[in-house]
Amino acid sequence: MIKSNSQENTLLVGFPSNGLVGTFAISYMINSLKMRQIGEIEVPNLPSTLFVENGEILAPIRVYNRKNIFVIISDVPFNQFLAEGFAHALHEFCKKNTIKKIIIVSGMETSNPEKKPPKIFGLVTHSTLENTLYKNEIPKFLDGSIFGTDAAIISVFRKTKIPALVLYAECHPFFPDPEASIVAIETLAGILDVKIDIQDIKNKIDKLRIQHRKLMEETIRTLQQQQDRQGRTPQIYR
């Protein structure tokens, strides 16, 4: 249920990354808020790919909307060159739809041998979003390296007037991590002032891990290619 009185247009973005956190979290938001698809996003040089779900043909990068909340979700991971095209496509979409802020959900590789609940960290491109971190008690991401799709989006938006917030949930780097996604969903719900029931994703955790193993393998290969080119640990590290 959307109960926010704010009329400020906000864009949520999710794509395959560590733990598939963005993919799980954003797709769950789409379903929970009963958002409707309003379009597709084209990225130059993206290989022709389509998905079929319940007999319906779906593009790999889709746009959804309900009231003042817009969503762009990708079902395919991006290499370095496609990531730049995706970031510019996001910016063009924001300009055309008067988006006032963008929130990206991603995963942060972590070692968690004690099985503690995942933490979430925030990174903002503009000081105008610092208060969002404070109000929602989100600690800032302070040290580390960012590359790949995250870095491409941040690089574009930090040079524009549209502020971006990146939510990094601690997650397992090599397996789908629905638990980390739950933390991201709850954080997003707080920021947007919407009510989200997370019981359904809790009930399907094991099923989600099995269903998305192939996408996780493809994502790991993409991140590994980026690591080999840049000589760094994939995604983000602390």
pLDDT in tens, 63-78: 999 999 999 999 888 9
Q: Which domains, from first to last, does the chain contain?
A: 10-230 (3.40.50.10900)
d(CA 9, CA 28) in angstroms, rounded, equals: 20
Top pLDDT among 3 and 141 is at 141
pLDDT for residue 237: 28
Q: Which residue's structure tokens are 């963005």?
A: 22
Window from 16-20, 130-134, 142-146, 224-228 with minimum mean pLDDT = 224-228
pLDDT for residue 124: 97
d(CA 122, CA 6) in angstroms, rounded, equals: 22
Query: Is 152 in contact with 230 (CB distance < 8 Å)?
Result: no
- Residue spans of beta strands (DSSP E) within the chain: 10-14, 36-40, 51-53, 56-58, 61-66, 69-74, 101-109, 120-124, 164-171
Top pLDDT among 128 and 113 is at 128
Q: How many CB atoms lie within 10 A of CB 23?
A: 27
For the cut 70, the answer to whether the pLDDT of residue 44 exceeds it is yes
pLDDT for residue 226: 53
**What percentage of the chain carries pLDDT values higher than 90?**
51
Query: pLDDT class for 236, splitting at 50, 70, 90?
Result: very low
Query: pLDDT class for 157, splitting at 50, 70, 90?
Result: very high
d(CA 182, CA 177) in angstroms, rounded, equals: 9
pLDDT for residue 234: 37
What is the pLDDT averaged over residues 214-234? 54
For the cut 50, the answer to whether the pLDDT of residue 4 exceeds it is no
Query: pLDDT class for 113, splitting at 50, 70, 90?
Result: low
Window from 45-54, 62-71, 156-165 with minimum mean pLDDT = 45-54
What is the pLDDT averaged over residues 102-107? 96
Concatenate the DSSP letters of all residues of 76-98 into one string: S---HHHHHHHHHHHHHHHHHTT
- Phi (first) and psi of residue 93, to 5 degrees: -60, -45
pLDDT in tens, 204-213: 555 554 455 5
Window from 97-111, 177-191, 219-233 with minimum mean pLDDT = 219-233
For the cut 50, the answer to whether the pLDDT of residue 217 exceeds it is yes
Give whole-number Cα distances, 236 to 19, 109, 146, in Å: 12, 6, 5
d(CA 223, CA 141) in angstroms, rounded, equals: 20
* DSSP 8-class letter at 174: S
